[in-house]
Structure 1
Amino acid sequence: MRIRTAGVVAVFALALAASGCGGGGDEPATKESPKAAGGKLVIWADDKRTAALKPFAEKFGQENGVTVEVQAVSKDLQTNFVTASQQGSGPDVVVGAHDWIGNLVQNGAIDPVQLAAEQKSAFNQTAVKAVTFNGQLYGVPYAMENLALIRNTALAPEAPKTIEDLVAAGKKLKADKKASEILCLQSGQNGDAYHIYPLYTSAGGYLFGTAANGDYDPKDLGVGKPESIEAFKKIGALGEKGEGALKRSITPENATATFTGKKCAFLVSGPWAVADVKKAGITYDISPIPGFAGGKEAQPFVGVQAFYVASKGKNKALAQEFVTNYVTTPDLAVALYQAEPRPPALTAALDQVKGSDPDLAKFTEAGKNGQVLPAIPAMAAIWDPFGKAEAAVIGGADPARTITSAGQTIAGQIK
């Protein structure tokens, strides 16, 4: 499940243009430099990725004559990394979401990475864009993720073309007592900006405008603008005092369980939900999230998982070698996919696994026109006020007053 809140905010954000890369030119690190440095390479990752990384880390250590330790950090990985970095006790490499980049760069915690043009071209270019910040490449991407519509095909054989079609189908299922909810899209009492974002964009809303070079522009805040007011009016019409499709009782904790319990036919979620859907024996299909009739295309956020080189690591040459010439291999990318199935960012790895996992192509299709999740530090100000405004409007609050107030709160935090 994915939910963004103010506490996770320092842990999540994005940006930009895929131009050059940083410090040290456009060539990958050489084999000689890490061997000469010797010593130990320390990698921090979460539990699932730690298990997948260990055999590859051991092989890398043997090939380079060094010791490699992969350490699992189960909670608050980004926060712990920034703190350890400032104290000089952090790792050489850290694995995490691309939307950490703005915060990590602002804290001086990561260095640009050095990928040759040929290496960069081997990746999905949206993934490359996601790990590029202020014109520099700050991470090596390995997996991508976005929301889609997961549908119980026994209850809803056809994919809805619009959100209005979905609501009509869900209402009929309720009337026929085949479901108790129209749609499982998580909100809860504090809202969920990440999950509502596709509908917000379809209704014409935006978070940040873009500068001439394609970077997100924190000075062009869309929240509170007329476009966002119109979007929240449409979201409110789907809420508890309208169609009843969006409800605060659908939470991050119960959204997937409500779907797997066959209480709703439609679930807005990502690849992380599929294991539970399969376990429940639900016959399902995956399609793009439908937008409003006559509106814009619904655009989910596209997120990327990546490897970063710690700026205060004790063996930076070895870290650069690992992320540029080892993480870029299909074998490692496939192993990470097997640890947690999300579309690999490396094209060759995606080609290897997509034949045995048709869901990958469907999630990729659902996210092909998505928006890269902003990693600019200003994004931290969005999650909490926007989410709470969403929950209030779903509950029946006035859309114009609510989102205008949220926009003022966000603008004040950005300044």
Structure 2
Amino acid sequence: MRIRTAGVVAAGLALVLASAGCGGGDEPADDKAAKTDGGKLVIWADDKRTAALKPFAEKFGQANGVTVEVQAVSKDLQTNFVTASQQGSGPDVVVGAHDWIGNLVQNGAIDPVQLSATQKSSFNEKAITATTFNGQIYGVPYAMENLALIRNTELAPEAPKTIEELVATGKKLQAEKKVSEILCLQVGQTGDSYHIYPFYTSGGGYLFGTAANGDYDPKDLGVGKPESIAAFEKIKALGEKGAGAFKRSITGENYSATFTGKKCAYMVSGPWVVPDVKKANISYDITPIPGFAGGKEAQPFVGVQAFYVAAKGKNKALAQEFVANYTTQPELAVALYNAEPRPPALTAALDQVKGNDPDLAKFQEAGKNGHVLPAIPAMAAIWDPFGKAEAAIVGGADVTSTLTGAAKAISGQIK
């Protein structure tokens, strides 16, 4: 994430408030803020981020003479936010994933965020791309995430160059009774579109084509096309009736424990799982996900966590100031990193923490050519049918008919 110094908080707030038509011309910025809805700013976030945000929110409130409340929403944050927004009972600021943006904009729930060119340049370029929708920036990114291959280096000292090499090593370890599974890749009974995506791309598949301006094009659906069928034929060959590397018995609930229990040498996951690996005292390394031999590069999704300004919040001017000029500071990004170690999107924050955490650079390397997770509303139609198709194919189902059915289901949901 990119961070912006806040030496201009008071002046910036005055400008934002003035442009929003709040208050007369000569009052100090904090006086104006205090008069906006009683000077109260309400922020919604999940449990982990709420704890990290509270001290910074209090500091912002004290500096600007306002009250800031950070409220934890433990479940269904996006859905609850949209509902509350429509009812006029939502927060002023919400914290969430960048792929919410299409849905939130479609529902009129968030406003664009005003960032200067200098501010934008202080962030990882992919992070800005992720939070840009219809040519406007709708969120200030603070963390990035992508999948990588995490390897038990005692069981598998060398990083595999291809998925076939990984499978060969995994089978050898199975034969030696050192592991029970070739790969810890969560699939489950309903599939997992996010985790299978790097292998899908390596096999040549795509979800959406791109328009001339580089945006994803919902009218160009790749699922069901020859490229996707070819990709899933490769995936099927690694499934339960093939090599046995992809299995429905590996789920989101057990994949990490299977790896930390040393029942597999390889795991595909993101930075969120590293604390569990460290706790298990496993010697590990992080490398890019290997693709198919002779295939394309395995490209994981790149996701971003961001701050959004609620379009129907009661204190929009103050929310703009908080999001544009306060969440862009390195100190806050570092605190959020400490709460959950995902690579900061702000370059200055990343520079502060990467010296003590070599894993950050490794995850960045694994995701440097990844695809920004589509934030277009049509993406919501992908997850369920695509995942179920994956699970069926991993279990041995016919690829062509299964993907044709998935494409029909997805197309029917895209408006």
- The two structures share one fold, judged by TM-score above 0.5: yes
Deviation at 1:29, TM superposition (A): 8.0
Question: Is contact 1:193–1:386 with CA below 8 Å preserved after alignment?
Answer: yes
Distance 1:191 1:308 in 2: 30
Change (3 A) 1:29 1:145: farther
Which secondary structure state, in structure 1, belongs to the residue aligned with residue 185 of structure 2? Answer: coil
Amino acid at match of 2:89: S
Which secondary structure state, in structure 2, belongs to the residue aligned with residue 30 of structure 1? Answer: helix
Which secondary structure state, in structure 1, belongs to the residue aligned with residue 12 of structure 2? Answer: coil
Deviation at 1:31, TM superposition (A): 2.4
Distance 1:272 1:282 in 2: 16
1:381 — aligned with what?
381
1:113 — aligned with what?
113
- TM-score in terms of structure 1 length: 0.93
For residues 239-294 of structure 1, give each alpha carbon's deviation from its aligned partner in whole angstroms, at most 9, with x where no partner exists.
Answer: 00000000000000000110000000000000011011111111100000000000
Which secondary structure state, in structure 2, belongs to the residue aligned with residue 31 of structure 1? Answer: helix
Map 1:16-415 to 2 at 5 A: 30-32=12-14, 33=17, 35=30, 36-38=32-34, 39-415=39-415
Question: Is contact 1:81–1:90 with CA below 8 Å preserved after alignment?
Answer: yes
Larger displacement relative to structure 2 (32-41 or 401-410) = 32-41
- Segments of 5+ residues of structure 1 without an aligned counterpart are 1-27
Amino acid at match of 2:222: G
- TM-score in terms of structure 2 length: 0.93
Deviation at 1:401, TM superposition (A): 1.1
Amino acid at match of 1:313: G
Amino acid at match of 1:270: G
Amino acid at match of 1:235: I
Distance 1:389 1:248 in 2: 12
Distance 2:12 2:178 in 1: 62
Amino acid at match of 2:258: T
Distance 2:11 2:396 in 1: 57
Question: Is contact 2:288–2:367 with CA below 8 Å preserved after alignment?
Answer: yes
Distance 2:330 2:409 in 1: 45
Question: Is contact 1:343–1:364 with CA below 8 Å preserved after alignment?
Answer: yes
1:7 — aligned with what?
none
Amino acid at match of 2:274: V
Distance 2:164 2:12 in 1: 56
1:6 — aligned with what?
none
Distance 2:92 2:11 in 1: 15
Question: Is contact 1:29–1:321 with CA below 8 Å preserved after alignment?
Answer: no
Greater radius of gyration (CA): 2
Which secondary structure state, in structure 1, belongs to the residue aligned with residue 114 of structure 2? Answer: coil
Identity value in percent: 83
Amino acid at match of 1:37: A
Distance 1:355 1:212 in 2: 39
For residues 358-378 of structure 1, give each alpha carbon's deviation from its aligned partner in whole angstroms, at most 9, with x where no partner exists.
Answer: 000000000000000001000
Deviation at 1:404, TM superposition (A): 1.4
Distance 2:55 2:67 in 1: 13
Kindly tell me the number of residue pairs found equivalent between the two proteins.
389
Amino acid at match of 2:388: K
Question: Is contact 2:33–2:64 with CA below 8 Å preserved after alignment?
Answer: no
Distance 1:200 1:121 in 2: 32
Question: Is contact 1:100–1:375 with CA below 8 Å preserved after alignment?
Answer: yes
Distance 1:185 1:30 in 2: 47
Deviation at 1:37, TM superposition (A): 3.2
Distance 1:251 1:42 in 2: 36
2:22 — aligned with what?
none
Which secondary structure state, in structure 1, belongs to the residue aligned with residue 173 of structure 2? Answer: helix
Which secondary structure state, in structure 2, belongs to the residue aligned with residue 180 of structure 1? Answer: coil
Distance 1:142 1:29 in 2: 23
Change (3 A) 1:154 1:66: same
Distance 1:224 1:381 in 2: 14
For residues 98-122 of structure 1, give each alpha carbon's deviation from its aligned partner in whole angstroms, at most 9, with x where no partner exists.
Answer: 0000000000000000000000000
Which secondary structure state, in structure 1, belongs to the residue aligned with residue 200 of structure 2? Answer: helix
Which secondary structure state, in structure 2, belongs to the residue aligned with residue 70 of structure 1? Answer: strand
Distance 1:408 1:96 in 2: 30
Distance 1:295 1:60 in 2: 51
Question: Is contact 2:203–2:234 with CA below 8 Å preserved after alignment?
Answer: yes
Distance 1:386 1:370 in 2: 19
